[in-house]
Homo-oligomer: A and B are copies of this chain.
């Protein structure tokens, strides 16, 4: 019996020649990195070399190539899965990774979200509606001022207040001082607002940040898996069960990996309880179909893994809440950052309007 394989679908750009041969070369590149004539061991040919399952020309002139990759090349490491999916092929500018599926044992091994939608929701008081979220900005703000922002957001009843992904351990607001001020501010309100600090550095540094923050009552964190590496991300999720992780797409947009596969499936596989993506019609240019694809991949039944909250973001506003609710439904985190902060001295009122718009049908349009 053959061991189950990883299914990876790639797209060769229109204009690529000799698809069938290129598909064979891709299969060699993403498994043994050797020409076929250098392979003599029949066990390696049978068990290790990636198999070309299909090559299908598409209407737009491109071709979809489906490979079956051996799980033996991956071992147990998330970074190694990325490596075998797209490590070397990322160096071919006409190849895109468009979809991936893993066999159930590999899904169980990486484990997916430890909380998922239901678990992250149960950490908040939100039920039967999308969660509300905002971001602390800009870098350069002092811990004291960030604490004041947190207090305002918490008083308004936002569910989640996350650090911007740009927060690391900068001198203007070092991690510990920032987390102390922000966590104290949300804890002082009775609204149940969660503060999510941004993790930075390597595994050991991030684990220290988690330990420090949990001691103060922090329950969830922001992390950028393509910046810190997916091995680090997956290992932190496994080492900290019950802790929430919201994934940020920094550096992920350039990866020539289809966003539903990367931000939806792979980030979920590695443990994201929520996954941020740039929604259409904001500051970024993801098409609506791409955004729908991310949300579907994050929430669809998949090997028994917990579902991940899609977090449409990137220039959203209170005025778009009804549309976002219609588009993405209840199991969504709505993230509005800069647009709230632009309200300046009316920040509290604007935050309340956001909370109201999410809680009540058509409140935003009526406002």
Contacts of A164 in B (CB 8 A): 33
Residues of A191-220 whose CB lies within 8 A of B: 200-205
User: Closest CB-CB distance, A230 to chain B, in whole Å?
Assistant: 8
Is there an interface contact between B203 and A73, defined as CB atoms closer than 8 Å? Answer: no
Residue with the highest number of chain B CB atoms closer than 10 Å, among A33, A74, A165, A286: A33
Docked CA distance A75–B166 (Å)? 10
CB-nearest residue of chain B to A252: B90
Contacts of A35 in B (CB 8 A): 338-339, 342
- Flag whether A232 is at the interface (Cβ < 8 A): yes
Is there an interface contact between A251 and B34, defined as CB atoms closer than 8 Å? Answer: no
**Copies, count:** 2
Docked CA distance A198–B251 (Å)? 24
Residue with the highest number of chain B CB atoms closer than 10 Å, among A31, A84, A229, A253: A229
Contacts of A54 in B (CB 8 A): none
User: Closest CB-CB distance, A80 to chain B, in whole Å?
Assistant: 4
Partner pick for A37 among B79, B86, B252, B342, CB 8 A cutoff: B342
CB-nearest residue of chain B to A250: B87
Is there an interface contact between B38 and A338, defined as CB atoms closer than 8 Å? Answer: yes
- Flag whether A141 is at the interface (Cβ < 8 A): yes
A251 with B86, Cβ < 8 A, contacts A91-B314, A137-B33, A231-B201 known: yes
Is there an interface contact between A139 and B344, defined as CB atoms closer than 8 Å? Answer: no
Contacts of A113 in B (CB 8 A): none
- Flag whether A107 is at the interface (Cβ < 8 A): no
CB-nearest residue of chain B to A314: B91
User: Closest CB-CB distance, A77 to chain B, in whole Å?
Assistant: 5
- Flag whether A285 is at the interface (Cβ < 8 A): yes
Docked CA distance A135–B41 (Å)? 18
- Flag whether A227 is at the interface (Cβ < 8 A): yes
- Flag whether A39 is at the interface (Cβ < 8 A): yes
Contacts of A43 in B (CB 8 A): 140
A-B contact pairs, 11 of them (CB 8 A): A29-B283, A33-B164, A34-B138, A38-B138, A41-B140, A73-B170, A79-B168, A83-B166, A83-B250, A228-B229, A254-B257
